[in-house]
Structure 1
Amino acid sequence: MIRAIQWATGSMGRTSLRRIVDHPDIALAGVFVYNPSKVGVDAGQLARRPETGIFTTNVIDDILATDAHVVIHTPRITLPYDALVDDVVRLLESGKNVISTAGFHWPAAQGANYAGRLQKACLAGGVTLAGVGVNPGLIVERLALAATALCADLEKIDVREMVDASAMASPEFVFGLMGLGTDPARSDIRAGPLAELYTALFSEVLYFSAHAMGTEVQRILPDHQLTLAPADMVITAGPIAKGTVAATQWCWNCEMVNGVLLSLSILWTADPNLHGGADVGHWTVDITGRPNINMRVNISEADAGAPPSRALSDATVAVAIRTIPDVVAAPPGLFAYQPPAAWRAHFR
């Protein structure tokens, strides 16, 4: 039986907590919360499950002293990007494997000092750190790259994501981390802290991809776009005034030393009709080479009436839970799933 701690109980964290409580091979060992109003609550209450006898805490020393194999780390990603590192280092040094959905996918992308500190903590605790998720974590790293093995020659990998934010309930997430509702006349988020945050996060996808193809990143060119609201709008998280941001498209074009171009685009929108009514909640992968390859990945919620974002939460948590036995069994250090035999220009 694997003993697991759930770190954070927001929307993603509560989903993870339910999966841990329900899983036949996992025993819940502890729960860390940020909100003081959640402290001292039985985990079953937060997960809408019977009482577990495990009570929440917001004291990290309580978590460090808890006997557990792994921490499922699902806090909301924050500014700056490295804000979560101190807590993760302490968890690793205490001898707990960490599986995070909030970064840590390919720490080498952030430089030797950043990655080295995490690697040192892993070795000190004799444990492993894994950053997992859907995007980043799976769409490019484990699906698109694997598909390039069908190519005799490869020119470009183009990955596009669209997410409908209209039903998302958290104003802090939609207006804060997504950047919707901001006024570009006052502050252009494409040149501010949000751009730095997402460049740091998604650069890990780009550097991972270069590694998988046996090459290096030559340069990364951002091409971020904003769509402004043509009229006043109201979404679940709140109002969006005319002329403010109704959609953000974060895009990076990465040129590899081997000549391959990887374009990664993430579109978050308050209304898919602003973009021609395109389908939402999916990824489109176009691989240009010999031959060309086109893939579409779509996830949807089985329950009628559920918000579109719930399917993505379910998928992200499923990836994290499935990772547990692989991370626990892995040697100490930094962990990342490798794609099966991605395309390479050279065998070396």
Structure 2
Amino acid sequence: LRRIIDDPALELAGVYVYSDRKNGVDAGQLAKRPDTGVLATNSIEDILALDADLVIHTPRITLPYDQMNADVIRLLESGKNVISTAGFHYPLAHDEAYWKPLKDACEKGNATLAGLGVNPGGFIERIVLAATGFSSELDSITVRETVDASEMTVKEFVFGLMGFGADPAVNDITKGPLAEMYTALFSEILHFSGKALNVELLDITPDHALTLAPHDMEIGAGIIKQGTVAATEWLWTARYTQGVSFTLSILWTSDPKLHGKDTNGHWVVDIKGRPNMTLTFAIDEGDPTKPQSRALTDATIAGAMRGIKDVVAAPPGFFAFYPSGAWQGR
């Protein structure tokens, strides 16, 4: 919201909020900016009635994953393009029952839907896949992401959607609804990669892992009790035709030292083939007085806003930035 208010090229038309507390509050007050004259609303009917070109859709990821589709379908049908940071990165990764209502809504509203951000929706799709263009032979891609959640303060997110504090003796989150939701989200990268590399996806195998707290741990969002989840590694390996594989690891941790790591919010990429390549990509906060997680938030919304011009200009349907010059299967 701050980035939109601060951008002289954009005009804020409306703001949707999910709580009664924020309903009716000026958008400037919500974003610590001067009043804008735009009052937030928690009625989607108010948003649908607006004459707006595009919606920046930034809810928390929902459980189940497709719970947010109903709102997005209504936005598209009302003639508004949608850029989401919470999904829709590659809807065709799912079955027709998932993507067809979205596609129909795009056609009905003459609108375009895009999922953009950092990961999914950015780093792998636009940078990692482009790097494979230097491969004369491609065998495998491995992407390992580490995110330090120690300074995140939203309890509902850290102890809910991130799975921290769960007792594996009571609830093994690697096999339940949370795992299904993250598989739905991150598998879109693996399906998209096959399309971009011109190979067919054969299967996706999960191999998730949990790290338990060695003692009670205090983080920004609260206390993680000893013996409960202090880190989650969501890991999938996709196999494609022509002998290509892709391993994607997402490590969210309450303390990188639990894993022998001392870095924040970065990716390490290994591309095997001929030649072999290794990339390290970091997104860091330049101001040491600010939480490290702010840098990733800044990058995510910048990636979404970069797509505004392209999405508005695109034909109705699904939009994605495809990598430039990626390796191609034969």
Shorter-normalised TM-score: what interval?
Answer: over 0.9
1:220 is paired with a residue whose SS is: strand
> Is 1:87 the equivalent of 2:53?
no
Q: Which one of 220, 229, 249 corresponds to residue 233 of structure 2? A: 249
Residue 274 of structure 1 pairs with residue 263 of structure 2? no
Structure 1 equivalent of residue 190 of structure 2:
206
CA distance in 1, matches of 2:241, 2:95: 18
Q: Deviations over 1:18-47 (max 9, x none)?
A: 111111110000000011010111111111
3-state SS, counterpart of residue 38 of structure 1:
coil
Q: Which residue number corresponds to residue 138 of structure 1?
A: 122
Distance (Å, rounded) in 1 between the aligned partners of 2:79 and 2:204: 36
1:274-320 CA deviation, whole Å, 9 max, x = no partner? 01133221011110011111111101112222111110000000011
SS at structure 2 position matched to 1:174:
helix
CA-to-partner distance for each residue in 1:260-287, whole Å, 9 max, x for gaps?
Answer: 1100000001111101133221011110
TM-score normalised over the length of structure 1: 0.94
Q: 1:262 and 2:246 equivalent?
A: yes
1:146-225 alignment runs, 5 A limit: 146-225=130-209
Establish whether residue 102 from structure 1 lines up as the match of residue 78 from structure 2. Answer: no
**Cα shift readout 1:122-142 (whole Å, capped 9, x = no counterpart):** 010001000011010112111
Task: Establish whether residue 330 from structure 1 lines up as the match of residue 314 from structure 2.
Answer: yes
For residue 8 of structure 2, the aligned residue among 24, 30, 46 is: 24
Q: Following the alignment from structure 1 to structure 2, what is the Cα–Cα distance between the partners of residues 315 and 191?
A: 31
Cα distance per residue 1:225-268 (max 9 Å; x no partner): 11111111111111111111111000000001221110000000
Q: Deviations over 1:317-336 (max 9, x none)?
A: 00111110000000110001
Question: Structure 2: which amino acid aligns with 1:54?
Answer: V
Which residue of 2 is the match for residue 74 of structure 1?
Answer: 58
Partner of 1:112: 96
Q: Is the 8 A contact 2:264 2:284 kept in 1?
A: no
CA apart distance, 1:181: 0.7
Q: How many Å apart are 1:67 and its aligned residue?
A: 0.5
Look up the equivalent residue of 1:20 and give its one-letter code.
Answer: I
Structure 1 stretches lacking a partner, 5+ long: 1-16
Q: Which of 107, 129, 137 pairs up with 2:113? A: 129
- Could you tell me the TM-score, scaled by structure 2's length? 0.99
1:317 aligns with 2:301: yes
One-letter amino acid matched to 1:217: L
Is the partner of 2:13 in helix, strand or coil? Answer: strand
Q: Output one character per residue of 1:77-96: Cα deviation in whole Å (capped at 9) or x when no partner.
A: 01000000000000000000
Q: Which residue of 1 aligns with 2:289?
A: 305
Runs ≥4 residues deviating over 3 A: none
Cα distance between partner residues in 2 of 1:68 and 1:236: 37
Does the residue aligned with 2:145 lie in a helix, a strand or coil? strand
Q: Which residue of 2 aligns with 1:14?
A: none
Query: What fraction of aligned residue pairs are identical, expressed as a percent?
Result: 61
Deviation at 1:341, TM superposition (A): 2.0
Could you report, residue by residue, the CA deviation over 1:199-230 in whole angstroms, capped at 9, with x for unpaired residues?
A: 00001000000000112210101010111111
The CA RMSD over aligned residues, in Å, is: 0.8
Does structure 1 conserve the Cα–Cα contact (< 8 Å) formed by 2:212 and 2:230? yes
Q: Secondary structure at the match of 1:301?
A: coil
CA distance in 2, matches of 1:210, 1:258: 11
The 1-side partners of 2:213 and 2:23 are apart by: 40
Q: What secondary structure is seen at the aligned counterpart in 2 of 1:98?
A: strand
The Cα offsets for residues 161-188 of structure 1, whole Å up to 9 and x where unpaired, read as 0001111001111110000111101110
Q: Which runs of 5+ in 2 are unaligned?
A: none
Q: Which amino acid aligns with 1:236?
A: G
- Partner Cα separation in structure 2 for residue 323 and residue 157 of structure 1: 26
Give the 3-state SS of the residue equivalent to 1:218 in structure 2.
strand
Shift of 1:116: 1.2
